[in-house]
Amino acid sequence: MKLSALLVNSSLSLGLLLGLTSPAIAMPGMDHNHDHHQHGGGDHSSHGSHALHDVGPADATYDLRFIDAMIQHHYGAIEMARVTINQGHPGAGALASEIISAQSWEIANMLRQRRLRFPDAPITPVRYTPGQPTVLNQLKPMTEADKVAMRMSGTMDMMGDRGKAFAAAMILHHEMAIAMAEDALAKSGDSFVRSISWDIIRTQSDEIRRLRGLL
């Protein structure tokens, strides 16, 4: 097995032990009001979705909260991509496979950096709650509802054209990841957080362009 695959598998296994991994996907019907969102031409999502994905202010625990939030968001993309690979849509299947590979690697990297940068952090993913202290041991753990909201994986229309449904849902998902990464660039001075944020913006902007070609 290649070293990169070993690193991904070992880090994801640790994530499972820490409660950082995702459950099986559950996908209700898509909100079709989202079908025509434009990247760069308006809001990335509704005000409510932005609020759910708000990592909070630039303070002592921002970088940890960003990493935990982005890990959950990546799990959502992988869940959506997994149900698309074998649906008879070559373009969507190929792109879904690329997304799984890229985001699995980024999850492994974020888990590894989380351990290195925040050895005293709670082992479960944490969240920002307005008004709460920002000391590590006083952060609140994400609830299951927090994780589900962060993943955004319940937005695919499983009854229609799976390729188009995947493209429409993943465009919205990527737009939110880009918004989160842009927020991190504005608030964080951490070298890893800034580096992965730039990678997310670059990679997912290109994928949005390709996803639009599937609609």
Q: Quick check: is 31 in a domain?
A: no
For the stretch 43-54, pLDDT in tens is 434 444 555 578
> What DSSP element (H or E) covers 10?
helix 3-17
Per-residue confidence (pLDDT) for residue 173, from 0 to 100: 96
The CATH number of residue 198's host domain is 1.20.1260.10
Q: Quick check: is 99 in a domain?
A: yes
For the stretch 132-145, pLDDT in tens is 667 887 788 999 99
State phi, psi for 52 to the nearest 5 degrees: -65, -30
In this structure, the number of other CB atoms found within 10 A of the CB of residue 116 comes to 9
pTM equals: 0.77
Per-residue confidence (pLDDT) for residue 128, from 0 to 100: 84
Q: Quick check: is 79 in a domain?
A: yes
Number of domains in the chain: 1
Give SS3 for 4.
helix
- Contact 172/154 with Cβ under 8 angstroms? no
> How is residue 151 written in tokens?
């993943």
Q: Quick check: is 44 in a domain?
A: no
Show the domain range for 114. Answer: 59-120+128-215
**Percent of the chain scoring above 90 in pLDDT:** 54
Give SS3 for 27.
coil
Q: Of 88, 84, 110, 109, whose CA–CA distance to 97 is shortest?
A: 84
